[in-house]
C-alpha cells in the first residue's frame, strides 16, 4: 500500500460565502508577513505560479494575461496619445509590462504601497515583473490616495490595479478617491479601476460606476474572464474626461502590437462593454 499526501489551496474570502476555488499545490515557494499583509507565492499544479495576498488570489501565470491586458489596453487604446501613466497597486508588475508595450508612453509610475510585493514578485514571478527595470518606470512605495493628491493635472492614464476593498486597498473604493483621480488626470485623462465581479459583487459595481457617472464625462464598465478569480470574471470601471471607449477607439493602432497579446483584440475591446441584462439594468450604463 502506498500513501501519498496532497496539498490544496482554498481561497479564504470565498470560503466564507459558501463557495471557493480549490487548487492543487506542488509547494509553497515563499510566505512573508509584510507590514501590510500576508504575501504567499505558490507553485500550483494546474496554473503555474500564483500570488496570494491575505488569502486572496491576485494572479496566476496561467490566466494573468486576461486581467493585465484588459486593465491596460482598453484605456490606452481609447486615449489618443497616452504619455504619462500611473499604476496604483499592481506590485506584481504585470500591468506595467502591458503599459510599456505602448510606444507613446514616456513615463510609467508604479505606486505600490507594499514594497515586499514588488520584491517577492521580482524574485518569484519574473514573467510579470520583467519590465520593472525599464528606464521609463519609477516605483514608489506610498499610499495611492496621498500620491495622486500631490500630482494634480499630471497623468493621461491612471490604472488602479488593486486588491479587494478589505485591507490596504479600502481607500481606493471611496468616492473621495474617484474625485482625487479626476484632479490628478490631465484634461483628457482616463482612469480605470479594478471593480470586482458583477455576479458576486453587484453592489460594489453599482457604487463604483455611480462615482464614475457622477464625476466624469464618460463612464463605463467592462469585463474580462479570469477563471482563477471568484465567479471566473472581473470587471473594470472606466472614468474618462473626454474619450469614449467605443466611439474614440481607433483599432488600427492595435495591429502592430497584436502578435504579442494573448487575450486582447479589437473585438474583445468592444464586446467587453456588452453586459448581461441583470447587471446592465442595475448600473444603468
The yes-or-no answer on residue 161 being catalytic is yes
Place of cell 515586499: 116
CA nearest to 225, candidates 45, 63, 13, 17: 63
Catalytic residue (choose from 109, 156, 161, 164): 161
φ/ψ of residue 40, rounded to 5: -135, 140
Query: Can you tell me which of 40, 61, 63, 112 binds a second copy, judged by CB under 8 A?
Result: 63
Kindly state whether residue 231 participates in binding a second copy, applying the rule CB under 8 A. yes
Nearest distance in Å: CB 230, a second copy: 8
- Residues 210, 51 contacting (CB under 8 angstroms): no
Nearest distance in Å: CB 47, a second copy: 7
Query: Can you tell me which of 12, 186, 241, 270 binds a second copy, judged by CB under 8 A?
Result: 270
Kindly state whether residue 263 participates in binding a second copy, applying the rule CB under 8 A. yes
Q: What nine digits make up the cell of 101? A: 508595450
- Residues 14, 20 contacting (CB under 8 angstroms): yes
CA nearest to 141, candidates 165, 173, 158, 119: 119
Query: Can you tell me which of 28, 31, 45, 106 binds a second copy, judged by CB under 8 A?
Result: 45
Nearest distance in Å: CB 185, a second copy: 28
Tell me how far apart the alpha carbons of residues 44 and 29 are, in angstroms, rounded to a whole number. Answer: 10
Binding site for a second copy (CB under 8 A): 10, 15, 17-24, 44-47, 63, 65-66, 199-200, 223, 225, 227, 231-233, 258, 261-265, 267-268, 270-278, 280
Amino acid at each position: 500500500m502506498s500513501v501519498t499526501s496532497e496539498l490544496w489551496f482554498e481561497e479564504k474570502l470565498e470560503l466564507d460565502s459558501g463557495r471557493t476555488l480549490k487548487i492543487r499545490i506542488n509547494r509553497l515557494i515563499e510566505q512573508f508577513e509584510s507590514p501590510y499583509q500576508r504575501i504567499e507565492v505558490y507553485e500550483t499544479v494546474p496554473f503555474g505560479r500564483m500570488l496570494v495576498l491575505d488569502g486572496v488570489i491576485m494572479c496566476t501565470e496561467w490566466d494573468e494575461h486576461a486581467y493585465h491586458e484588459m486593465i491596460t489596453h482598453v484605456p490606452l487604446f481609447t486615449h489618443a496619445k497616452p504619455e504619462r501613466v500611473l499604476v496604483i497597486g499592481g506590485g506584481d508588475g504585470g500591468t506595467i509590462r502591458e503599459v510599456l508595450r505602448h510606444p507613446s508612453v514616456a513615463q510609467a509610475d508604479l505606486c505600490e504601497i507594499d514594497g515586499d510585493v514588488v520584491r517577492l514578485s521580482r524574485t518569484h514571478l519574473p514573467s510579470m515583473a520583467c519590465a520593472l527595470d525599464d528606464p521609463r518606470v519609477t516605483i514608489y512605495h506610498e499610499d495611492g490616495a496621498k500620491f495622486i493628491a500631490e500630482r494634480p493635472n499630471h497623468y493621461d492614464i491612471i490604472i488602479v490595479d488593486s486588491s479587494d476593498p478589505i485591507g490596504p486597498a479600502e481607500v481606493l473604493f471611496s468616492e473621495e478617491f474617484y474625485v482625487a483621480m479626476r484632479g490628478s488626470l490631465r484634461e483628457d485623462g482616463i482612469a480605470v479601476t479594478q471593480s470586482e465581479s458583477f455576479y458576486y459583487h453587484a453592489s460594489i459595481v453599482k457604487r463604483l460606476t455611480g462615482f464614475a457617472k457622477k464625476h466624469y464625462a464618460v463612464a463605463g464598465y467592462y469585463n474580462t474572464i479570469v477563471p482563477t478569480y471568484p465567479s471566473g470574471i472581473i470587471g473594470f470601471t472606466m472614468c474618462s474626461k473626454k474619450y469614449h471607449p467605443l466611439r474614440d477607439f481607433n483599432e488600427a493602432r492595435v495591429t502592430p502590437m497584436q502578435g504579442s497579446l494573448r487575450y486582447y483584440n479589437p473585438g474583445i475591446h468592444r464586446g467587453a462593454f456588452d453586459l448581461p441584462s441583470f447587471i446592465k439594468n442595475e448600473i444603468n450604463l
